Structure 1
Amino acid sequence: MDDDDAVRRLLADVSIEVTPRETSALDETATVLPAGTRVYVTDLPNLELQQTLDAAARVREHGLRPVVHLAVRSIPDPAALDRTLGRLVDAGVADLLLVAGSRAPAGSIENTLQVLESEALARRPFASIGVAGHPEGNPGVDEGAVDDALARKDKLAREGGLPLHVVTQFVFAADPVLGWERRMRDAGITLPVRVGLPGLTSPARLLKFGLSCGVGPSLAVLRKQSGSVLKLATQTYRPTETLRGLARAVAADPGNLISAVHLFPFGAVVPTARWAASGQKDGLGEDAARS
């Protein structure tokens, strides 16, 4: 398998995310990405759940598959969790991404394991449930605790039949995530992994988000690639080389847990969708990389 074939294979089930305020971008996004592409709808602070549900409905209207983020620390107690999950199901949401969220807990729910182990979730047959992966660490959280939590989620999936997958924080280089994947696999974890990649936005914007999200070793790669402050302000970042590195590794190792990539556009939804669609068709040759 050559590099372009490996890239096409990894992009075949690409996913992308939008905020509830960016749904106008779906008009064009739906014309370039295949029908049924997963579109993750982010949970923004200060937005009501209904706004997220309305955004998910728009994703569905465009022939795409909505995956709703749920920041569990915003849910105060099991009764509220039951009501929230009920509203999601009633609105036709079949796919979730559970994250703790950066805000302080509103009540007794502090982490996603509490939701995964809850009776409220067990009663509802979601088609897929994503959980967060942190190849370069989670700010303020001990690495051992992060690894242990993922191992417990993997056990829930295997023993309880939960349809879990991992979506990682975004990375700027392949090596850190490949090392993390190997470590997780050696620990017995079998969950499929979607690797987060930044979309086609400015390196300066990515540096800002990378520092706030705790992205570690691969952030140095972005700095090296970006060069001067002037270039940071004027160029557009493309995750082409990171994707190539991931695709080569997955093609060479059939046991690799990485199954797809997930794109964080940071506002550049349409250009990022076009880039992914070009890669699905052309394998990110030089012309596709400049799309």
Structure 2
Amino acid sequence: MDDDAVRRLLTDFSIEVTPRETATLDEAAAVLPAGTRVYVTDLAGVDLQRGLDAAARIREHELRPVVHLAVRAIPDLAALDRTLGRLVDTGVEDVLLIAGSRSPAGEIENTLQVLESEALARRGFASIGVAGHPEGNPGVDESAVDHALARKDKIAREDGLPLEVVTQFGFAADPVLGWERRMREAGIRLPVRVGLPGLTSPARLVKFGLSCGVGPSLAVLRKQTGSVLKLATSTYRPTETLRGLARAVAADPESLISAVHFFPFGAVVPTARWATTGQKDGLGAESA
């Protein structure tokens, strides 16, 4: 049952690359199913054109680019409209809105301002992602985060925007499942794409987990990896987290969880290969 549930959850998995990792696309595209969503990460100091060039290469490989848009880097709604126009001209049909860690360049401070404008609706994007934080957002009150997501859900229903939630990565299923139930009880009905780390070193994941505010599930990673030597030399696989999510989704037809998204942290090709194998065959021997 576990492998069948995992296969279903992996049917529409996605993965991301940075604009600096486009050289990996040739090899990754050889294993990724056609039409797989490949997110293009926003990097501070890297201009939008680099992201657009990456999106064009993704399309050349018959994959589906999803461009991160850090809205605080955009000074005003007029500039936003021009930016969205550049995305459309490149053939981008899907975006992920994030606030971004930088200080606002102008009047746009958060993704709600963008969603409440008419710019997105005019462009007719196929999907618009917004961030979810099952383990909290560093420096932001939990109730404020929940309220913002409820407002986004309301906008999606009232304006017909194709919103979905893409969560921060984590190392355990329970925090995600508890958060998803809480969101559902609050009336939110946005589909959820759960973030999972890719096949990189546990030491690197601990570093990113600390900087991103991943709390309860970070303890699970430390327990799984054990010694400092193993932390430094082993390769992490999100097998148990994926199985826990898949079992819960299979047992609850009302679950908002629809897919998973992989954050490879440099391990784009190994992560793509592992996820594609799991989609076809279940996890099997890859559970180690």
- TM-score bracket for the superposition, by shorter chain length: over 0.9
CA contact (8 A) 1:138 1:214 kept: yes
In the alignment, the residues of structure 2 paired with residue 102 and residue 273 of structure 1 have an alpha-carbon distance, to the nearest angstrom, of 27
1:128 corresponding residue in structure 2: 127
In the alignment, the residues of structure 2 paired with residue 81 and residue 49 of structure 1 have an alpha-carbon distance, to the nearest angstrom, of 12
Structure 1 residue runs without a partner (length 5+) = none
List aligned pairs for 1:128-277, cutoff 5 A.
128-277=127-276
2:89 corresponding residue in structure 1: 90
Q: CA deviation at 1:28?
A: 1.5
- Cα shift readout 1:57-112 (whole Å, capped 9, x = no counterpart): 00000110000000000001111111111111111111000000011111110000
Q: Secondary structure at the match of 1:129?
A: strand
CA contact (8 A) 2:93 2:127 kept: yes
Greater mean deviation of Cα atoms: 23-32 or 200-209: 23-32
Count the aligned residue pairs.
288
- Cα shift readout 1:211-252 (whole Å, capped 9, x = no counterpart): 000001001000111111111110000000000000000000
CA contact (8 A) 1:8 1:280 kept: yes
TM-score (normalizing by structure 2): 0.99
CA contact (8 A) 1:73 1:110 kept: yes
Q: CA deviation at 1:289?
A: 3.7
Q: CA deviation at 1:42?
A: 0.7
2:117 corresponding residue in structure 1: 118
In the alignment, the residues of structure 2 paired with residue 142 and residue 250 of structure 1 have an alpha-carbon distance, to the nearest angstrom, of 28
In the alignment, the residues of structure 2 paired with residue 120 and residue 160 of structure 1 have an alpha-carbon distance, to the nearest angstrom, of 12
In the alignment, the residues of structure 2 paired with residue 275 and residue 248 of structure 1 have an alpha-carbon distance, to the nearest angstrom, of 19
List aligned pairs for 1:270-285, cutoff 5 A.
270-285=269-284
* RMSD (Å) for aligned C-alpha atoms: 0.8
Greater mean deviation of Cα atoms: 118-127 or 100-109: 118-127
- Cα shift readout 1:157-195 (whole Å, capped 9, x = no counterpart): 111100000000001000000000000000000000000
CA contact (8 A) 1:39 1:66 kept: yes
CA contact (8 A) 1:275 1:289 kept: no
In the alignment, the residues of structure 2 paired with residue 244 and residue 120 of structure 1 have an alpha-carbon distance, to the nearest angstrom, of 39
Q: CA deviation at 1:30?
A: 1.1
- Cα shift readout 1:25-80 (whole Å, capped 9, x = no counterpart): 11111111110000000111111111110000000001100000000000011111
Which AA in structure 2 matches 1:99?
A: I
1:51 corresponding residue in structure 2: 50
Instruction: Return structure 1 stretches of 4+ with deviation > 6 angstroms.
Output: none
CA contact (8 A) 1:20 1:55 kept: yes
CA contact (8 A) 2:59 2:65 kept: yes
Greater mean deviation of Cα atoms: 79-88 or 159-168: 79-88
Q: Secondary structure at the match of 1:123?
A: helix
In the alignment, the residues of structure 2 paired with residue 262 and residue 122 of structure 1 have an alpha-carbon distance, to the nearest angstrom, of 25
In the alignment, the residues of structure 2 paired with residue 159 and residue 101 of structure 1 have an alpha-carbon distance, to the nearest angstrom, of 26
Structure 2 residue runs without a partner (length 5+) = none
In the alignment, the residues of structure 2 paired with residue 46 and residue 241 of structure 1 have an alpha-carbon distance, to the nearest angstrom, of 36
In the alignment, the residues of structure 1 paired with residue 47 and residue 271 of structure 2 have an alpha-carbon distance, to the nearest angstrom, of 27
Greater mean deviation of Cα atoms: 82-91 or 212-221: 82-91
Q: CA deviation at 1:119?
A: 2.0
TM-score (normalizing by structure 1): 0.98
